[in-house]
Amino acid sequence: MHSSSLRFFLSLNLSLLLFCGASFFSSAMAGLTALEALTEQLYDFIQSMEDDGIVDYHFKDCYNMKEANGPFLFIELIPTYISDSETTLEEMTAELDQPLVKFKHLEQLCTRLKGGTACIGACRVATSCGELRRAAIAKNKDNCLLRLEMIKGDFSILRNRLEAFLELERRIVTNDYQGC
Amino acid sequence: MATSNGSSTGTKITALVVDDDRVINAIHCKRLNKLGIENHVAANGKEAVDLHCSGKKFDLILMDRDMPIMNGIEATRELRAMGVRSIIVGVSTRSIKQEIQEFMDSGLDDYQEKPLTSSKVISILHKINCNEFLD
């Protein structure tokens, strides 16, 4: 090949290489920036839940366990918590529908729900569980029914926020940064 | 959900998490894992007792109070009667003094109200280290 053609060929390839490298670097940087933006959005979301009194610092503390336990920790944990809690709430409703309420059983259900709820930092629902338990200890059916409705309301709010949180978390974990 | 063979030989601290709630088990195990503790799970007191009957030993047992089949009070009494000398920490949401005392009287070394935090676990671990030093 003629030397000038060779030089032209080589310089063209070098330019292409530099262009591809720059493009790759640019999109990698854009991806990193998008990840940072999404992560910031997620932490802002956690803060908003704290500010609204839905969760306390235990929620963020649990979330930060991801570092040592893998990125899918919360994606697996939260749906389990929601599902198990819904089951317990159904059992509570069924118990209070009985003509003769077994208050001891209701107490146990309160303790069960409060345990998992407190451990993920969902303080508002945990507090409501404590109030229902006190009503069950007092064997006051009317108060139990009232407290159960309050728990359901608080749990509904919590579930909605957790589902929105999970949506952000899924995007982070699956590297889906589009739309940031 | 076993994550170890439960041996207490070697320098790594071993723990048994006894709770019927899978969310709590997951959180406690992850927390212990983050602190470098080898952990195992039992879903109720009977499973915990059976594990010990099979020869397993643990440095630390985190024992829930309210569980089906065998609760934490019964399990703790049983384990102490078997001669188990592990640090047994009761973990529950119950905060009424009498209830806590009833649980402590079954043979616990300590009681912690849920949620269990890393700082609570670290204070428990100091207790284990002190006991090893005294032994």
pLDDT tens-digit readout, B24-68: 999 999 999 988 899 999 999 999 999 999 999 999 999 999 999
Domain boundaries for CATH 1.20.120.160 within chain A: 83-158
Residues of A in contact with B93 (CB under 8 A): 111, 114-115, 118, 126, 130
Tell me whether B100 touches chain A (CB under 8 Å).
no
B118: nearest CA in chain A?
A61
Residues of B in contact with A69 (CB under 8 A): 30, 33-34
Tell me whether A114 touches chain B (CB under 8 Å).
yes
Residue/partner pairs of A72-79 with CB below 8 Å, 24 or more apart: A72/A173, A73/B30, A74/A166, A74/A169, A75/A166, A75/A169, A75/A170, A75/A173, A76/B26, A77/A120, A77/B23, A77/B26, A77/B27, A78/A120, A78/A162, A78/A165, A78/A166, A79/A166
Residue B101 pLDDT greater than 60, yes or no:
yes
* CATH number assigned to the domain covering A83-158: 1.20.120.160
ipTM for the assembly: 0.82
Residues of B in contact with A73 (CB under 8 A): 30
Among the residue ranges A24-38, A44-58, B88-102, the one predicted with the least confidence is A24-38
